Structure formats: C-alpha cells, structure tokens
Amino acid sequence: MPDTDARILAEVAARRDALVALTQGLVRIPTLNPPGNEYRTLVDWLGAWLEARGWAVELIRAQGAIGDSDAHPRWNLIARREGPRPGDCVHFNGHHDVVEVGDGWTYDPFAAEIDAGRIYGRGTCDMKGGLASAIIAAEAFIAAKPDFAGSIEVSATADEESGGYGGVAYLAEKGYFDPARVQHVIIPEPLNKDRICLGHRGVWWAEIETHGRIAHGAMPFLGDSAIRHMGAVLEEMEATLFPLLAQKRTDMPVVPEGAKQSTLNINSIHGGEPDPAPGFTGFPAPCVADRCRIVIDRRFLIEEDIADVKDEVRALMERVKAERPGFTYEIRDMHEVIPTMTDREAPVVTTTAAAIEKVLGVRPDYVVSPGTYDQKHIDRIGRLHNCIAYGPGVLDLAHQPDEWIGIQDMVDSAGVMALVLAQLL
C-alpha cells in the first residue's frame, strides 16, 4: 500500500472516537419525518461542528418545496472545503431525516447507546452513521493530504424518506448538483461496506378509479357497483398483468433477487362509503358504491419504457371495459421516477471499487436498489450521472426496531471514502 494511503487510513483510525461521537450527536436529535421535526436543530448543530473544523457552511431552507411550512421548515446544510490547487469536487450527500420509531425497541431510540461495538438508535444505520463516516473520511483525508486538488462537499439534506423534494430535489433545482460545480457524488446509504449501489429501478404511482351509480342496497340492480367493476379489474390483473410482469427480467444487478423482475403493488383500495368516524357506533347505510379507487405502485426496469408501462395498464382497463357494460374508469398519474444506473466505468465507481479492495481485501459487489433514493434527483434534475450509493450499515436494518450501526463498519467505510478522495483529488 502506498505511503499516502497508509497515512490516510491511520488518520481515519485515529478518529474512531470522533466518528462515534459525531454519530451519537446526530442520532440524539430526533429528526422524525413525517412531520419533519428538529431539522433546524440538526443543521445548526452539525454546522457548528463543521465550522469549528474549517468548513464553509451554508444552511438552505427549501422554501415552498413540497412539505415545507413555517411549522416544519425543510432545512438543508452544505459544507465545503477547498484545496489549495484546482480540481474536481467530490460531494457526499446524506439525508438527515429518520422514519418513525415504531414498536419493539429494547434500546432508547434516541439515546445512541453503545453495546458490543454497535451504536443503537433510529437513524444510526439509515443514515446518520453513513453521513458521519463521510465527514470523518474527509477530515482524515485533509489531515493526511492538505495540499489536495479540488474541493470536498458534504450535504445533510431533508426529506429523503418522503421523496426528497424538500432536500436534494430542491438543491438540484437550485444548481447545487450541476456537473459544472460537482463532478462526483457518493451517497452513504446503508448498503453494506463491500457493495457499490449503481442506481435503482423506476417507479410509477397511479390512482385508478372505477365509476358506478349509487342506489339502495336492497335494490342493487337499480344501481351499478363500482366495487364489482374494480373486482373485475383485479381479476384481470391476476390473470394477465402479474404473469406478464413476472416474465420481465432485468440485467441490472438488483437486490434482492425477487426485485430483478417488474413488480406491482396495490397500495390501497377504497370503495363505497368512507370509514365511519372514530367513536361512531351505528351501522353503515345500505348503498351501492358509486366509486372505487386503488393506488398502484409499479416498479419498472431500465429495459422498460415508462410509456409502455402505462399503456399496459390502460390496455388492461380497456379489456375489462370491452367485457362490462357501463364500465368507465379514470387513471390519474401521481408520481414517477425513471430508472437510473451509473456506468461501471464511471470514475466514482472505479475508484470506490479500488478503495474497497485496498481496505477490505475483497472485490466489491455491484448492486441496484429495488426502491429509489436521492440519486434520482441528482441524475434527473442535476444531470450528474457520476453518482453512487456507498456506505456502512446493513440495509435490512433500515426502518426496523433496534436499528444499529457497527462501529468497525463505519471506520472501514470511512477508510474507503477517504481513499476515494485520495484518488479523485
């Protein structure tokens, strides 16, 4: 191993306690989303930590973005260090929001307790531990190689767990991820320290509504049941759509195995009368349902075109319509994300792969995420394609009770990220 690499890894190792303390500090600020609590507290705390160590810190509120309000403002932080010589900018992006706690914890979710080499708490793994590792990687790299070329940025952003519109999407729209300003992005999401995540599948969310006609439930023949119409839609899905999706296989290295095909989930179904108000003890009224709605969540592959994905569903609805007198429907688009996959030859990928081999002595696995994360905004709005997710933590622990991050895993992945900086800057 060259001298510089050894020196950088020694600087990382010397910061083990600082890495733990930084992670604990972040976890102890309960940035729950929804609704988006304590975002300002977190960026103030982290901003002070970074400023004290020489970073130029900017706090940015995603004013007017989806989710932003005066009660729950969407605060983001970007910190920057310039080297003495010109060069590329490497940007580490971590979301600072965490999901609800849920039941089943045996540790205090916001105490960040250490037990047997792990830190426990909501957001340890997803992804405050990864954010802290990236910061320590940068600190160690700068200490070992203060004459580096280019610049390093760290961002702590809001709302990844709810789509990222008050976070990375907002910053991308403001030009912060313009390839003229940032050339390499690593998102330290918990994907295991020996795996490089190149991208994600696509998403299409839509609401499908069938229409009927209300009538007395004792004389349903005088009305037309939107629920029975929807039943026919669901039958048609079982008979034709699900088998079709199961046949569509991707060459993307999606994990887990089940997500290597196209998938569709029906997120919800609502038909007829709304649920009774809490505390209401009476019976429902006898009515034929005049409306029934489902929300579908279709995950598609890089080999598929979103127009075809939508046409498939429309064709299915048309088949049902041809069979059922009086059948009318609407499809409303809710949300869509195009699949993305960074090229394996992209510089951020090859340098991370080489750094994993140096630090861990193994060749990395390349994976693609079944769901999306903030790379979508960097790719689509920012038009920056040299982006990966790489960070410590076991993906399966995200959003679970007793979430934890391994301290050695954080140190190892900080070493990897520091060596990536050494290669790129």
Enumerate binding residues for Zn ion (CB under 5 A): 126-127, 189
186 vs 313 by CB, closer to Zn ion = 186
78 vs 127 by CB, closer to Zn ion = 127
Task: List, in order, residues 6 or more apart from 264 with CB less than 8 Å away.
Answer: 237, 241, 242, 245, 296, 297, 298, 299
- Nearest distance, CB of residue 400 and Zn ion, angstroms: 13
DSSP for 332-369, please give it: EEEEEE--EE--TTSHHHHHHHHHHHHHHSSPPEEEEE
68 vs 189 by CB, closer to Zn ion = 189
- Nearest distance, CB of residue 374 and Zn ion, angstroms: 8
Q: Which of 193, 307, 299 is nearest to 254 (CA)?
A: 299
- The helix (H) or strand (E) run that includes residue 205 is strand 202-211
Kindly list the strands in the beta sheet with 114-115, ordered across the sheet, starting from the edge strand earlier in the chain.
114-115, 118-120, 404-406
- Nearest distance, CB of residue 372 and Zn ion, angstroms: 11
Q: Which residue, judged by CB position, is nearest to Zn ion in the bound state? A: 126
Residue 44, CA distances (Å) to 62, 156, 321 in order = 16, 11, 57
189 vs 412 by CB, closer to Zn ion = 189
72 vs 122 by CB, closer to Zn ion = 122
- Nearest distance, CB of residue 92 and Zn ion, angstroms: 14
Name the phi and psi angles at 120, rounded to 5. -105, 140
- Contact between residue 196 and residue 342 where contact means Cβ atoms under 8 Å apart: no
- Nearest distance, CB of residue 122 and Zn ion, angstroms: 12
126 vs 403 by CB, closer to Zn ion = 126
Q: Is 8 helix (H, G, I), strand (E, B) or coil?
A: helix
Q: What angle do CA 198, 203, 204 make, to 5 degrees?
A: 165
- Nearest distance, CB of residue 322 and Zn ion, angstroms: 44
